[in-house]
């Protein structure tokens, strides 16, 4: 009875979740105004809010699930304030940590548009125009980095997923039995995959998730530039074949996380060709730099990969989340992921062009319109715009390296792509004295905490041959030459104060 009564009171346009166009415009304008102010205020804000974890939790509060609803006006106003005042601002001009970029404001609008439309790109006929835009985005990304088109591919959430999709395509393509039915243990021959120690941790998740297990990873040594040692790799493959293993794929990284070094992709491509192995390139960070005419031959050799992982939410400035897997042979993704259940209707292929069913190319079933912000970004800036931004970021990183090298209290360590690593070495600490290295590591680790907490700059760290280094990665269109020039002295000042407190007697 109750149900019937409620249904009779339910009229179109009166649902509590719905909003009229006028109401949406009013609220939307208020929020967009706040966001516009936020963008303008970014340079004046602290990068890190500096709140201790306990106080962050208190900001959110400990109330239980609200029993009754509240007005959208108040909620949006309060939430925008909460987020703007208590977040770590990776869009700040002096945020140079990890590989987290500033996000294009147009991307935020694109996400709004995508959410308003709410297209489901799992299946072509649910979102025909959106799927075609995703398909064009994938081809454009390939074109941008010089990967041969037409190619296959799809948008995913980020670099980890982009790499995982490439890995799974390789697993299906290179295991000679029906691995999707019988699993990796279908035959007793264990598979192996090859990656350097510098490979991002996605490889462990992929080895685990794919059923190969992390033991399947053959960790190959790197040279002093942190590039994989191809001779050691070739020896390991030969040894594994002799021992009865089934080598599947080799990972080359186009811009590693620590230093931005690019693996010798030309030699890796040659080796994979000779050994009939799948060649996967992790270009989550560095692939967009292949768009530069002056890019190295090594980097441009990503064009020879069977699959490439890209991360538009890094150097292409898309808001999170946007990753992309490219595969040379489009059929390999479908082979790796497609199932056709009875509850999905498939148009008679002869009757019309069925288009792409993205759910058959990857893990996701329902999929949001991630491609839109990437597509609009590519149209907004064009190849020229992106080339210029990437080139500037690299030039800024080189400038930082020079400034650091010229500063008496720093040791400049590495510079590749837009990553610069260095460490603070105070006056009077002789590297020859026992304990000096341990002290420098401790000092730089503490210094990093201090810098991050200060809210003035945000850098991260790298461990280079046992040395604890500070690491600046410029994937930030807001960073200027002035920011870069200011950094050494800001950090040195904190370093001096720490050194005065921390240096042990024997090193004085
Ligand atoms: C960032 C990064 C990843 C992981 O990407 P997410 O977008 O964080 O999932 C993988 N590999 C490399 C080289 C990266 O720089």
Of ligand 1's atoms, which has the minimum distance to the CA of residue 321? 7
Q: Is 160 in the pocket of ligand 1 (CB under 6 A)?
A: yes
DSSP result, 41-75: HGGGS-SS----HHHHHHHH------SS---HHHH
pLDDT of residue 186: 75
Of ligand 1's atoms, which has the minimum distance to the CA of residue 159? 5
pLDDT of residue 475: 98
H or E element in which residue 265 lies: helix 265-275
Distance 34 CA to ligand 1 centre (A): 31
Residue 310 and residue 322 in contact, taking contact as beta carbons nearer than 8 Å: no
In this structure, which residue's CA is closest to atom 5 in ligand 1? 159
Query: Is 495 buried (19+), middle (13-18) or exposed (0-12) by CB count in 10 A?
Result: buried
Q: Which of 342, 5, 330, 358 is nearest to 173 (CA)?
A: 330
Range in 115-129, 140-154, 423-437 the model is least confident about: 423-437
481-502 and 371-406 are packed helices; what angle lies between their axes, rounded to 10 degrees?
60
Residue 299 and residue 268 in contact, taking contact as beta carbons nearer than 8 Å: no
Judged by phi (left if over 0) then psi (alpha if -120 to 50, else beta), residue 150 lies in beta
- pLDDT tens for 164-215 read 999 999 999 999 999 999 999 877 789 999 999 999 999 999 999 999 999 9
Q: Is 162 in the pocket of ligand 1 (CB under 6 A)?
A: no
Task: Order the strands of the 152-156 sheet from edge to edge.
Answer: 152-156, 323-327, 307-310, 278-282, 246-253, 191-196, 217-220
In this structure, which residue's CA is closest to atom 4 in ligand 1? 159
Q: What is the CA radius of gyration of the chain?
A: 26
- CB-based contacts of 168: which residues, under 8 Å, 6+ apart? 206, 210, 336, 337
Pocket test for ligand 1, best of 201, 257, 363 (most atoms within 8 A of CB): 257
Pocket test for ligand 1, best of 311, 323, 471, 475 (most atoms within 8 A of CB): 311
Q: Is 284 in the pocket of ligand 1 (CB under 6 A)?
A: yes
Contacts of 107-110 with CB under 8 Å at 24 or more apart are 107/317, 107/318, 107/319, 107/373, 107/376, 107/377, 108/35, 108/319, 110/372, 110/373, 110/376, 110/377
Q: Is 247 in the pocket of ligand 1 (CB under 6 A)?
A: no
Q: Is 200 in the pocket of ligand 1 (CB under 6 A)?
A: yes
Q: Is 287 in the pocket of ligand 1 (CB under 6 A)?
A: no
Q: Is 315 in the pocket of ligand 1 (CB under 6 A)?
A: no
Q: Is 387 in the pocket of ligand 1 (CB under 6 A)?
A: no
- pLDDT tens for 308-349 read 999 999 999 999 999 999 999 999 999 999 988 777 776 655
Of ligand 1's atoms, which has the minimum distance to the CA of residue 254? 13
Distance 186 CA to ligand 1 centre (A): 31
- pLDDT tens for 133-146 read 999 999 999 999 99
Q: What number of residues does the chain have?
A: 508
Q: Is 279 in the pocket of ligand 1 (CB under 6 A)?
A: no
- pLDDT tens for 452-499 read 999 999 999 999 999 999 999 999 999 999 999 999 999 999 999 999
Q: Is 159 in the pocket of ligand 1 (CB under 6 A)?
A: yes
Q: Is 311 in the pocket of ligand 1 (CB under 6 A)?
A: yes
pTM for this prediction: 0.96
The torsion angle over the Cα atoms of residues 6, 9, 13 and 14, rounded to 10 degrees, is -80
Q: If DSSP codes are grouped into helix, strand and coil, which group holds residue 11?
A: coil
Structure tokens at 380: 């907004």
Q: How many helices (H) does the chain have, and how many strands (E)?
A: 16, 11
Task: Order the strands of the 460-464 sheet from edge to edge.
Answer: 410-416, 419-424, 467-473, 460-464
Distance 200 CA to ligand 1 centre (A): 7
Residue 106 and residue 376 in contact, taking contact as beta carbons nearer than 8 Å: yes
pLDDT of residue 213: 96
């Amino acid at each position: 009875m109750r149900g019937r009564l409620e249904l009779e009171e339910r009229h179109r346009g009166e649902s509590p979740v719905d909003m009229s166009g006028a109401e949406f415009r009013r609220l939307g304008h208020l929020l967009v105004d706040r966001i516009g102010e936020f963008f303008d205020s970014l340079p004046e804000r602290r990068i890190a809010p500096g709140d201790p974890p306990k106080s962050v939790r208190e900001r959110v509060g400990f109330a239980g699930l609200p029993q009754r609803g509240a007005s959208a006006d108040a909620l949006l106003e309060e939430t925008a304030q909460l987020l703007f005042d208590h977040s770590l601002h990776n869009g700040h001009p002096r945020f140079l940590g990890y590989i987290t970029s500033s996000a294009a404001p147009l991307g935020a609008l694109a996400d709004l548009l995508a959410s308003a439309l709410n297209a489901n790109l799992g299946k072509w006929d649910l979102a025909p125009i959106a799927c075609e835009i995703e398909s064009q985005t994938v081809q454009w990304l390939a074109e941008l980095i010089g990967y041969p088109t037409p190619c296959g591919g799809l948008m995913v959430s980020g670099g980890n997923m982009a790499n995982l999709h490439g890995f799974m395509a390789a697993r299906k393509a290179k295991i000679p039995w029906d691995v999707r039915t019988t699993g990796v243990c279908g035959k007793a021959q264990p598979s192996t995959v090859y990656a350097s120690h510098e490979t991002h941790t996605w490889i462990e998740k992929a080895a685990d998730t794919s059923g190969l297990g992390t033991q399947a990873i053959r960790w190959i040594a790197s040279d002093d530039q942190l590039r994989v040692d191809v001779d050691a790799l070739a020896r390991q493959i030969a040894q594994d074949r002799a021992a009865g293993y089934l080598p599947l794929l080799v990972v080359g990284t186009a811009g590693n996380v620590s230093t931005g070094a690019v693996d010798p992709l030309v030699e890796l491509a040659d080796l994979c060709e000779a050994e009939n192995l799948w060649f996967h390139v992790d270009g989550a960070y560095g692939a967009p730099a292949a768009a530069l005419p002056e890019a190295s031959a090594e980097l441009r050799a990503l064009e020879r990969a069977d699959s490439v992982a890209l991360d538009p939410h890094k150097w292409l400035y898309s808001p999170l989340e946007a990753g992309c897997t490219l595969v040379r042979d489009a059929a390999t993704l479908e082979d790796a992921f497609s199932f056709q259940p009875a509850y999905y209707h498939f148009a008679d292929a002869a009757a019309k062009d069925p288009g792409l069913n993205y759910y058959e190319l990857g893990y996701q079933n329902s999929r949001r319109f991630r491609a839109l912000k990437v597509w609009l970004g590519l149209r907004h800036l064009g190849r020229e715009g992106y080339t210029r931004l990437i080139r500037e970021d690299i030039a800024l990183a080189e400038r930082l390296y020079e400034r650091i090298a010229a500063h008496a209290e720093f040791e400049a360590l590495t510079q590749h792509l837009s990553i610069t690593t260095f460490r603070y070495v105070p006056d009077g600490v002789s590297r020859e004295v026992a304990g000096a290295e341990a002290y420098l590591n401790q000092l730089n680790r503490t210094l990093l905490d201090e810098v991050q907490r200060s809210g003035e700059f945000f850098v991260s760290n790298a461990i280079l041959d046992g040395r604890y280094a500070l690491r600046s990665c410029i994937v930030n269109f807001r960073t200027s030459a002035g920011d870069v020039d200011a950094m050494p002295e800001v950090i040195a000042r904190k370093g001096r104060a720490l050194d005065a407190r921390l240096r042990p007697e024997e090193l004085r």
